[in-house]
A and B are shown apart, each in its own frame.
Chain A
């Protein structure tokens, strides 16, 4: 899934652009983008061990709690900002979206789909879903703002954020026609290219 996700993001990130990745983890996406697209990359991360991994890879990183603000970086002119699999962990996802779009004209957001049939099945049987994409129990998870793909797209609509492009990731193939009839039920992850 990560390779598939990286492939999509790489298509959207312009060569030699200035990129900021919020919740960059160990920096593997940025490392990939530096190698394949020669970007100038900055990661933002809060976990100390992951920060060390970024430093070891030679990726510039800023230790910062995204919930506490992105304002400091507003003076910098980024081409694209990325928030992969992190937006559901934030206290104010919609505020973060607007801030990202004030940092850069384009932004990439990816999120796990709580509408996936396995999650629904879990809830129908009376349990919070624990899946490969959402591996932690409700009491351990950092995901405080999970949503379905439809929920997210509605939020973008309400907040007047344009969805320039989107790709749904399924278990196996991206292009299974049958599953694409209802992505909110079958997609594991939504990958979005957003603009103001």
Chain B
């Protein structure tokens, strides 16, 4: 698998949905495979809120890619056949412009001053990326969760630049409960004594405890009750592998470990920005969903997972019903999924077969 990691600067800048602009911005991208002569095999992967450009293969710093079970040589999204592109979204913290980047006006990191970003902005930046990579259209745009919302947005806003979309464990918009969960996470970051209203870089600290708690809460919502039961049950953690004090149960150890790990790689300001983008996205904001999907020409593959309680399958069905009302060639399939909301990240025979067959049909 030919992998290229590249940081691309767009000196022309971008106007954001909020009305603000970035006078210039960077996108960190990773590509797999090769664009064919006809330029007909490009695939765009859209990452979920805490994901990044590293979707497949093993990277020294970033480890195994977030969709490595699905993307690679001979896998569901076959990098031997397709030219696969993934970029870190603006506002993120894995190389693309975000709160950690230097604000050209102040020569200091943006911090809390990084402008609000939206799913729409990401799609617009990916349009610019397409031009840069000389890709005329995407054969397939896919993602799970917030990435699925991006795939949906692509099909709505740029019908002539996308042939097929894969919308997995996603929804037209976040539910009230989704927003509520995200607000608790954000509040725990804001209330960390090291947050300093988002200007913690100046103080050479990070709001580690707040970010960790936010991620721990997140993890609970990504897993299903049953999956947690099977994986951890009420088992006690063995003494040697406890990551902290006051730990009794394995689930406690798991959440502590995962939360801690997350703070080593993720930026708290990005956490706030990305969750806000997720909360504010609403494909049907200007009218109703039927109206919103009017221009869609792409074929859609909508997959939900019955163990997902964060974006349950019924949310995908709403898209399917609106798609059918608009005569869009759309399929909707619910799979069991063993991993709750996170099921979209993991390969299963059915899930992989569906993606593989949909792309090549």
Q: A55 near B320 (CB under 8 angstroms)?
A: no
Check A55/B354 contact, CB under 8 A, given A60-B329, A62-B331, A63-B333. yes
Q: B321 near A76 (CB under 8 angstroms)?
A: yes
Chain A contacts for B339, CB-based, 8 A:
none
Query: Chain A at the B interface: mostly helix, strand, loop or mixed?
Result: mixed
Q: Considering the chains assembled together, what is the distance between the CA atoms of A42 and B358 in angstroms?
A: 15
A40 part of interface (Cβ distance < 8 Å):
yes
Check A55/B301 contact, CB under 8 A, given A48-B350, A61-B331, A63-B333. yes
Residues 47-76 of chain A: 1 if any B CB is under 8 Å from the residue's CB, otherwise 0? Answer: 010011011111011110000000011011
Chain A contacts for B317, CB-based, 8 A:
72
Check A55/B361 contact, CB under 8 A, given A60-B331, A62-B332. yes
Q: Which of B299, B301, B321 contacts A73 (CB 8 A)?
A: B321
Check A75/B330 contact, CB under 8 A, given A48-B350, A55-B354. no
Chain A contacts for B301, CB-based, 8 A:
55
A196 part of interface (Cβ distance < 8 Å):
no
Chain B contacts for A63, CB-based, 8 A:
332-334
Q: Considering the chains assembled together, what is the distance between the CA atoms of A194 and B334 in angstroms?
A: 31
A18 part of interface (Cβ distance < 8 Å):
yes
B333 to chain A, nearest CB (A): 4
B291 part of interface (Cβ distance < 8 Å):
no
Q: B331 near A72 (CB under 8 angstroms)?
A: no
B327 part of interface (Cβ distance < 8 Å):
yes
Within 8 A of B (CB), among A14-61: 18, 40, 42, 48, 51-52, 54-58, 60-61
CB-based nearest A residue for B332: A62
Total count of chain A residues near the partner, CB < 8 A: 20
Chain A contacts for B203, CB-based, 8 A:
none
B325 part of interface (Cβ distance < 8 Å):
yes
Q: Considering the chains assembled together, what is the distance between the CA atoms of A154 and B322 in angstroms?
A: 37
Q: Considering the chains assembled together, what is the distance between the CA atoms of A58 and B361 in angstroms?
A: 5
B167 to chain A, nearest CB (A): 14
Chain B contacts for A40, CB-based, 8 A:
327, 329
Chain A contacts for B332, CB-based, 8 A:
62-63
Q: B357 near A56 (CB under 8 angstroms)?
A: yes
Chain B contacts for A72, CB-based, 8 A:
317, 321
CB-based nearest B residue for A53: B357
Q: Considering the chains assembled together, what is the distance between the CA atoms of A40 and B328 in angstroms?
A: 9
Q: Considering the chains assembled together, what is the distance between the CA atoms of A75 and B318 in angstroms?
A: 11
B163 to chain A, nearest CB (A): 12
Q: Considering the chains assembled together, what is the distance between the CA atoms of A46 and B317 in angstroms?
A: 15
Q: B350 near A52 (CB under 8 angstroms)?
A: yes
Residues 74-107 of chain A: 1 if any B CB is under 8 Å from the residue's CB, otherwise 0? Answer: 0111000000000000000000000000000000
Chain A contacts for B350, CB-based, 8 A:
48, 52
Chain A contacts for B331, CB-based, 8 A:
54-55, 60-62
Q: Considering the chains assembled together, what is the distance between the CA atoms of A64 and B327 in angstroms?
A: 19
B324 part of interface (Cβ distance < 8 Å):
yes
Q: Considering the chains assembled together, what is the distance between the CA atoms of A51 and B351 in angstroms?
A: 11
Chain B contacts for A62, CB-based, 8 A:
320, 331-333
Chain B contacts for A51, CB-based, 8 A:
333, 354
Q: Considering the chains assembled together, what is the distance between the CA atoms of A42 and B329 in angstroms?
A: 8
Within 8 A of A (CB), among B315-356: 317, 320-321, 324-325, 327, 329-334, 350, 353-354
Identify 9 new A-B residue pairs, CB closer than 8 A, beyond the known A60-B329, A62-B332. Answer: A55-B361, A56-B360, A60-B330, A61-B333, A62-B331, A72-B317, A75-B325, A76-B324, A76-B325
27 A–B pairs (Cβ distance < 8 Å), ordered by A = A18-B327, A40-B329, A42-B324, A51-B333, A52-B353, A52-B354, A54-B331, A55-B331, A55-B357, A55-B358, A55-B361, A56-B357, A56-B360, A58-B299, A58-B329, A58-B361, A60-B299, A60-B329, A60-B330, A61-B333, A63-B333, A72-B321, A73-B321, A73-B324, A75-B321, A75-B325, A76-B324
Q: Which 8 A-B pairs have the closest CB atoms?
A: A58-B361, A56-B357, A63-B333, A76-B324, A55-B357, A60-B329, A62-B332, A61-B331
